[in-house]
Structure 1
Amino acid sequence: MEPKTLYAPAEQAVPVRNTRLASIDALRGFDMLMISGGGAFIFLLKGKTGIPMIDAVADQFEHPEWNGFTFYDFIFPLFLFLAGTSLTFSIQKGLSKGMHHSEIRNKIFVRMLILIALGILDKNAPIDVFDPAHIRYGSVLGRIGLATFVSALLFMRFSFVQRFGIAIATLVVYYLALKLIPVPGYGAGDLSFEGNLVGWFDRAFMPGKLKQGTYDELAILTQFPAICLTLFGTIAGDILLKAAPENQKVKKLVLLGLAGIVVGLAWDLLFPINKHLWSSSFIMLTSGLAFMFLATFYWIIDVKGFSRWAFFFQVIGMNSLVIYLAVRFVNFNASSKLLFEGFYKYAPEKWHEVYNALGGFVLVWLFLYFLYRNKIFVKV
């Protein structure tokens, strides 16, 4: 039997809104900016300006080898979080048009399959279909597809509080599993590169090739904490959908953000913040940061109305799938060299790669702007 309400009865009395928020597109665009060339440009500035602050910022665009955290670790979790936030608007829009829960579920299921297929293509092109043992099946797009599908099922059946409880319980169980389940040859609680439970599970049950050889951070076990990020995103969507005072929404987002950051940093003492393991402390820290970033963008753009500056990011955010795949299959940096090397070749040689990366990103943005002006928005 299909559930009859989107929210639990106690929450249903509050009317909901169904408008697209510019802040979500802008924040998604900011996130994709880091993936599509902005992060590489900042990283290439390291050691070139002689300004310590710039070098410190550039250091934030390189992943730690194992434990630890940099801003670059936040990019993918933020996208997963925003996928959950956008999901609440999409489902509410579908319900308002009279779609049944089964129709929405089936649509998101097909979307998941498409994203998994595109993810396999992205990670393995050119794919040797005759050698499946050397195909990497874990992918960023596949993770997004699976996380949004599971989150959609939970969103349509459970209340705000219940989904929050499911996410926290999942993170606790994940922590206990990695701490208490013994790994052959290493024992229980080994969180090293070689001895962690995630790696053993991947080697035992994940088909195909593992990215890191002994484990794959986009394989099976890490999917469970990753889904929690999308679930937290649906909670943010709940808050934004409600027809409540705007400042009240911002306060709730900020409070949840601060709570997530504090819990993440405290949990780090027992379960180190680690993107490779998608540790529970890492999930809490990044979800807290995501709530804070969303609150900031929402307050500035949708509450205060300062939106002109966000257009640059919105152009990117409204075609995030296109640009994710485009920078994989189109060499914008090669085009940048052909078009702009005649200008920057007179600069000191150490700056050539910086200017070339900047030119590549300009081409990326102009491509997306062309799509935007022609109202071409590719969705799955």
Structure 2
Amino acid sequence: MKNKPTQAVPRERLFSLDALRGFDMFWITGGGYLVAVLAKYTGAGWLKVLADQMEHVEWAGFHFEDLIFPLFMFISGVAIPFALISKLEKKVPKAELAKKAVKRGLTLVLLGMVYNGVFSDGFENPRFASVLSQIGLAYLFASLIVIYSKTFKDRLYWLGGILVGYGIVQLLIPVPGIGAGVLTPEGCINGYIDRAILPGRLHGGVFDPEGLLCIFSAIAITLMGTVAGHFLRDKTTTDQQKVKTLLIIGASTIVAALLLSTFYPIIKKCWTTPFNLLAGGIGFILMATFYWIIDVKGWKKWSFFFRVIGMNSIFIYLLYDMVNVGSITKYVLGWTVLWGDFGMVVNVVGSIMIVWSLLYYMYKKNIFLRV
């Protein structure tokens, strides 16, 4: 007797979404460093391979570390249909939803400026571009596209237009004195625009990886997330169909990225279209996997560790900049240096658990940093 397809259950909050967000944030809150320390302690070859993945590539190419930031934006995009379309269906005015999106986006821009220390040192050589600013602006414009697009197909046109248009700009518009399609830190049009228009200090010296042109690319990957959210929220399809659709889209975009990379490199620091397609494709596959395991099969207990992190993601990002977590860990676990490399493993695990315990306390007290 064949198993019947699992019917989709209407869900307006996905446990898998919080878990995937927490999984993503885990790697910048000590997970990546833990892999490096374990590789050093054990000498295991496979751990050394993983440890290499915990470092950004210098320019062209792709490591797991390069996925963390765009995956976060993809996840924020997945949440948009659940947060906005349900309200549109309840006849909440579009202007009201747009106002909230603008408020959230600009709040993240402001937090990004605070994170970068723009308001310190008498505004001396500040950096205005930031990770939080890029997340905020990408969320803002992706939300506005969702709010004011009449159909899902219109949103796909926006997504395709941005990806294609971004590629045309990077490959065909010449940089004065250099030419077109020169995708180097000095030659890419992203850096030229940043040097000409973006005030203050640039993170990359001659370009900024969160610069002005990169914002358009970030909007695209956030819109990819809204596509995943659209299918996950669809009440007319079975859970098997949802997962299959996301897996097919993910695999297709990865193949497209690899094909394009033969002449249009995968570069995170200037957010090329193949990079977006590769990161987005992996996002679709991870979202499908987490959704199937957690929300469909109901295997939730293992994901609790990640969900606690994921439900306070902005707080944890700010915490690591504003609080010296390493010093706190040293006071509690400094004695572990007597154990050599193994002591370093204990120290890193202890640091992660100290922060997780704070997040767990906030979770139990229903304290969440919302913007």
- TM class by shorter chain equals over 0.9
Percent identity reads 41
CA RMSD of aligned residues (A): 1.7
Residue 177 to residue 92, structure 1, CA distance change in 2 (3 Å): closer
Matches within 5 A, 1:286-365: 286-342=279-335, 344-348=336-340, 350-365=341-356
Distance in 1 between residues matched to 2:265 and 2:73, nearest whole Å: 21
Distance in 2 between residues matched to 1:323 and 1:57, nearest whole Å: 24
Quick one: which amino acid aligns to residue 221 of structure 1? L
Match status 1:103 vs 2:91: no
Q: Which of the residues 353, 361, 366 maps onto 1:370? A: 361
Residue 157 to residue 125, structure 1, CA distance change in 2 (3 Å): closer
Q: Which of the residues 132, 139, 145 maps onto 2:136? A: 145
For 1:155, the equivalent position in structure 2 comes to 146
Deviation at 1:16, TM superposition (A): 9.8
User: What are the ranges of 5 or more consecutive residues in structure 1 without an aligned counterpart?
Assistant: 1-14
Match status 1:23 vs 2:16: yes
Deviation at 1:46, TM superposition (A): 3.7
For 1:270, the equivalent position in structure 2 comes to 263
For 2:45, the equivalent position in structure 1 comes to 52
For 1:192, the equivalent position in structure 2 comes to 184
Task: Say which SS state the counterpart of residue 346 (structure 1) adopts.
Answer: helix
For 2:106, the equivalent position in structure 1 comes to 113
- Count of aligned residue pairs for this structure pair: 362
Distance in 2 between residues matched to 1:148 and 1:308, nearest whole Å: 30
Question: Would the aligned equivalents of 2:98 and 2:147 in 1 still touch at CA under 8 Å?
Answer: no
Matches within 5 A, 1:121-136: 121-124=114-117, 127-131=120-124, 134-136=125-127
Distance in 2 between residues matched to 1:45 and 1:209, nearest whole Å: 36
Distance in 1 between residues matched to 2:312 and 2:130, nearest whole Å: 19
For 1:32, the equivalent position in structure 2 comes to 25
Q: Which of the residues 219, 222, 242 maps onto 1:249? A: 242
Q: TM-score, normalised by structure 1?
A: 0.91
Deviation at 1:86, TM superposition (A): 0.8
Deviation at 1:165, TM superposition (A): 2.5
Quick one: which amino acid aligns to residue 374 of structure 1? K
Deviation sequence 1:98-142 (CA, Å, 0-9, x none): 5211101001101111110000111226623443xx111111111
For 1:3, the equivalent position in structure 2 comes to none
Question: Would the aligned equivalents of 2:173 and 2:180 in 1 still touch at CA under 8 Å?
Answer: yes
User: What are the ranges of 5 or more consecutive residues in structure 2 without an aligned counterpart?
Assistant: 1-7
Deviation sequence 1:172-193 (CA, Å, 0-9, x none): 2211211221112211221122
Q: TM-score, normalised by structure 2?
A: 0.94
Q: Which of the residues 71, 79, 100 maps onto 2:72? A: 79
